[in-house]
Amino acid sequence: MIYINAPIGVGKSTLTKYLSGSLGTHAFYESVEDMPMLKEFYSNGDKSRSNLSFELQIAFLNYRFAQLRQGLYLQEHDGEVNTVYDSSLLSDGIMCGNLYKRGEMSGVLYYLYDEFTFVD
């Protein structure tokens, strides 16, 4: 499994496409259209960001887990050796830390997420 971790808009999807094409393997992309919680998170400015930060991180965790299950299924059943992901739990953990540092997530919820994901 290959994970691409970088800030928004720097070319993760392009690199994912290039690598998966070169390796002849499946690519997994982060689709914001598949994340209804993201729209809610940004719907009411600071208030919705503070109220939904933990829920958003759990939604991303669920999304990544589903992608991981798909990738493992492809490896097991279709014989794919590699899969390429344009994001990962590491990037989600960084985002969670940023939400906490900006005061958009409480310390209790931040540490709960951190313990749950084992992401530092």
Question: Residues with catalytic annotation?
Answer: 86
| Residues 16, 3 contacting (CB under 8 angstroms) | no
Q: Which residues, other chains included, contact 106 with Cβ-Cβ below 8 Å and sequence gap of 6+?
A: 54, 100
List, as one string, the DSSP characters of 42-74: HTTHHHHHHHHHHHHHHHHHHHHHHHHHHHHHH
One-letter amino acid at 76 equals: E
